[in-house]
A and B are shown apart, each in its own frame.
Chain A
Amino acid sequence: MATFKIILIVMSAIVWISWFTVDLYKIKKQQSKNILEDVKPDLKEFLRQNKWAILLSLLKRAIFTAIIAGSIYAIVYFSIQSVLFRTITLIVTFVALWVFMFIIDLYKMNKELHENVFENIQPDSKEFMHRYKWAVLLSLIKRAILAAIIVGASYAVIYFSIKSLLFRAIAIIFVIVVLWLTHSGITGEIFEKKGYKKITGNLMGFIPIYGLIYAIKLRPHKQILPGAFKTIIGFKEIMMKMMTFGMLTAALGIVAFPIVYLIGSSFTDTSDLPTLLWPTSDLFTWQNYVSLFEDTKFFVWYKNTFIIALLSMLLGVIFVTGAGYVFARFKFKGKKAGLMAILVLQVFPSFMGLIAMFTLFQVFGLLGKPTWLTVLYVGGSVPGNIWLIKGYLSQIPKDLDESAMLDGANKFQIFFKIIMPLSVPILSFVAVGLFMAPWMDYMLPKYLLDVQLAGSTDPDSVQKQWTIAVGLFSMIQNPQSSSYTMFASGALIVAVPITILYMIFQRYLIEGIAAGATKG
Chain B
Amino acid sequence: MKRNGKHIFKGIASAIIPGLGQVFNKQFLKAAIFFVIFSIFLGVELATSHYFVTVDPYDKLTEETGELFTDVFSENFYKYYAYQKAADEVDFPDFEAYYATANADDVFSMRELLEYIGEEIVGASTPRYFVLSTDLVATDEGMGTSNTGEILDTDLIIGTDDDAIGAMNFTHVKIGITIYMSNDVEYYRVITGSDETRQVFYVNVNDSTDVIYDVTGFTEYKRTDSLYYDSSLHIVYIKSTISDSVLGSSDYRYTNVQDSSDFYDAKDSANFDYFNSLEKLEIKGDLVFSGSGDLYVRYIPELSYDMVHGYNGTAFTDYFRNYVTMRYNANTSFDSGNYNRMLIEVYFSIHPELRTAFETQYYNFFYDKAGAFTKGIWSLITLGTTEKVVYNYKSLHDPLKSVAFTESGITYAAVSGILDETPLIGHVSSYLLIQGLIYTLLLAYFILIYIWGIIDAYKTSKRYDETKKFVKDVEWLRNIFTHGFEYFMMLPALFVITFITVMPILFGFLIAFTSYSGFDSDSGLFTWVGFSNFTRIFSFGEGIPFAETFWSVLSWTVIWAICSTATVFFGGMFLAVVINSERVPFKKFWRTFLILPWAVPALISQMAFSVIFSDRGVINAILDKLGFYDVFQNWGILGVAYNADTMTAFQKLFYLGYNNIQWFSNANNIWFVRIALIVINIWLGAPYFMALMTSIMTSIDRTLYEAADIDGATKNQKFKFITFPLVMYSTAPILVMTFSGNFNNFGVIYFITQGGTGAGDIDTAFAGSTDILISWMYTLTVSKKVYNMASVFSILIFLLVGSIAAWNFSQTRAFKED
**Chain A interface (Cβ within 8 Å of chain B)?**
160, 163-167, 170, 184-185, 188, 198-199, 202, 240-241, 244-245, 247-248, 251-252, 254-256, 258-259, 261-262, 265, 272-277, 318-320, 322-323, 325-326, 330, 332, 335-336, 339, 343-349, 351-357, 359-360, 362-363, 375-376, 378-380, 382-383, 386-387, 390-391, 394, 410-412, 415, 439-440, 442-443, 446-447, 469, 472-473, 476-477, 484, 487-488, 491, 494-495, 498-499, 502-503, 506-507, 510-511, 513-514, 517-520
In the complex, A323 Cα to B493 Cα: how many Å?
Answer: 6
Closest to A205 in B: B585
Are A343 and B683 interface neighbours, CB within 8 A? no
Query: Within residues 490 to 509 of chain B, which ones have a CB less than 8 A from any CB in chain A?
Result: 490, 492-494, 496-497, 499-509
B323 interface contact, C-beta 8 A = no
Task: Decide: A506 near B625, CB < 8 A? Known: A355-B787, A476-B611.
Answer: no
CB distance from B105 to the nearest CB of A (A): 46
A-B contact pairs, 29 of them (CB 8 A): A184-B585, A185-B583, A185-B584, A198-B585, A202-B585, A247-B578, A256-B593, A274-B618, A323-B490, A323-B493, A325-B489, A335-B818, A339-B815, A349-B774, A351-B794, A352-B795, A356-B506, A362-B431, A363-B431, A382-B493, A383-B501, A412-B485, A440-B601, A442-B603, A442-B747, A494-B604, A506-B599, A518-B730, A518-B813
Are A319 and B818 interface neighbours, CB within 8 A? no
Chain B positions within 8 Å of A502 at CB level: 598-599
Are A356 and B618 interface neighbours, CB within 8 A? no
Chain A positions within 8 Å of B604 at CB level: 262, 472, 491, 494-495
B208 interface contact, C-beta 8 A = no
CB distance from B376 to the nearest CB of A (A): 13
Are A498 and B504 interface neighbours, CB within 8 A? no
**Chain B interface (Cβ within 8 Å of chain A)?**
430-431, 433-435, 482, 485-487, 489-490, 492-494, 496-497, 499-509, 511, 575, 578-579, 581, 583-586, 590, 592-605, 607-612, 614, 616-618, 621-622, 625-628, 630, 683, 687-688, 691-692, 695, 730-731, 733-734, 737, 744, 746-747, 750-751, 754, 774, 777-778, 781-782, 787, 790-791, 794-795, 797-798, 801-802, 805-806, 809-810, 812-815, 817-818
Chain B positions within 8 Å of A184 at CB level: 585
Chain B positions within 8 Å of A348 at CB level: 505, 798, 802
Chain A positions within 8 Å of B801 at CB level: 347, 349
- Of B496, B502, B812, which one neighbours A520 at CB under 8 angstroms? B812
Are A255 and B627 interface neighbours, CB within 8 A? no
In the complex, A495 Cα to B603 Cα: how many Å?
Answer: 9
Are B797 and A349 interface neighbours, CB within 8 A? yes
Chain B positions within 8 Å of A380 at CB level: 500-501
Are A248 and B695 interface neighbours, CB within 8 A? no
- Most chain A CB atoms below 10 A, which of B435, B494, B496, B608: B608
- Of A255, A351, A440, which one neighbours B778 at CB under 8 angstroms? A351
Are A359 and B507 interface neighbours, CB within 8 A? yes
- Most chain B CB atoms below 10 A, which of A345, A352, A443: A352
In the complex, A412 Cα to B482 Cα: how many Å?
Answer: 10
Are A330 and B503 interface neighbours, CB within 8 A? no
Chain B positions within 8 Å of A503 at CB level: 592, 595-596, 599
Are B733 and A517 interface neighbours, CB within 8 A? yes
CB distance from A273 to the nearest CB of B (A): 5
Closest to B808 in A: A517
In the complex, A165 Cα to B781 Cα: how many Å?
Answer: 50
Task: Decide: A244 near B584, CB < 8 A? Known: A323-B494, A347-B798, A473-B607.
Answer: yes
Are A332 and B486 interface neighbours, CB within 8 A? yes
CB distance from B764 to the nearest CB of A (A): 21
Are B490 and A322 interface neighbours, CB within 8 A? yes
- Of A330, A359, A379, which one neighbours B497 at CB under 8 angstroms? A379
Closest to B590 in A: A248
Are A349 and B601 interface neighbours, CB within 8 A? no
Chain A positions within 8 Å of B737 at CB level: 517
Are B798 and A349 interface neighbours, CB within 8 A? yes
Task: Decide: A185 near B500, CB < 8 A? Known: A344-B806, A355-B791.
Answer: no
In the complex, A513 Cα to B598 Cα: how many Å?
Answer: 13
Are B496 and A248 interface neighbours, CB within 8 A? no
Are A336 and B818 interface neighbours, CB within 8 A? yes
In the complex, A344 Cα to B590 Cα: how many Å?
Answer: 40
Closest to B803 in A: A347
Chain A positions within 8 Å of B584 at CB level: 185, 244-245, 248
In the complex, A491 Cα to B596 Cα: how many Å?
Answer: 15
In the complex, A39 Cα to B123 Cα: how many Å?
Answer: 141
Closest to A469 in B: B603
Closest to B812 in A: A520
- Of B586, B608, B731, which one neighbours A202 at CB under 8 angstroms? B586
Are B492 and A322 interface neighbours, CB within 8 A? yes
- Of B508, B578, B683, B802, which one neighbours A255 at CB under 8 angstroms? B683
Chain B positions within 8 Å of A319 at CB level: 492-493, 496
CB distance from B26 to the nearest CB of A (A): 26
Task: Decide: A447 near B782, CB < 8 A? Known: A320-B493, A353-B508.
Answer: yes
Are A258 and B585 interface neighbours, CB within 8 A? no
Are B504 and A352 interface neighbours, CB within 8 A? yes
- Of B504, B754, B817, which one neighbours A357 at CB under 8 angstroms? B504
In the complex, A248 Cα to B805 Cα: how many Å?
Answer: 34
Are A277 and B493 interface neighbours, CB within 8 A? no
Are B733 and A518 interface neighbours, CB within 8 A? yes
Chain B positions within 8 Å of A330 at CB level: 485-486
In the complex, A172 Cα to B492 Cα: how many Å?
Answer: 64
CB distance from A288 to the nearest CB of B (A): 14
In the complex, A232 Cα to B314 Cα: how many Å?
Answer: 114
CB distance from B621 to the nearest CB of A (A): 4
In the complex, A477 Cα to B781 Cα: how many Å?
Answer: 19
Sample of 6 further A-B pairs with CB below 8 A, known A343-B809, A348-B505, A443-B778: A188-B585, A322-B490, A345-B501, A349-B774, A349-B798, A379-B497
Closest to A494 in B: B604
In the complex, A510 Cα to B730 Cα: how many Å?
Answer: 13
In the complex, A392 Cα to B791 Cα: how many Å?
Answer: 35
In the complex, A325 Cα to B487 Cα: how many Å?
Answer: 11
- Most chain A CB atoms below 10 A, which of B505, B750, B806: B505
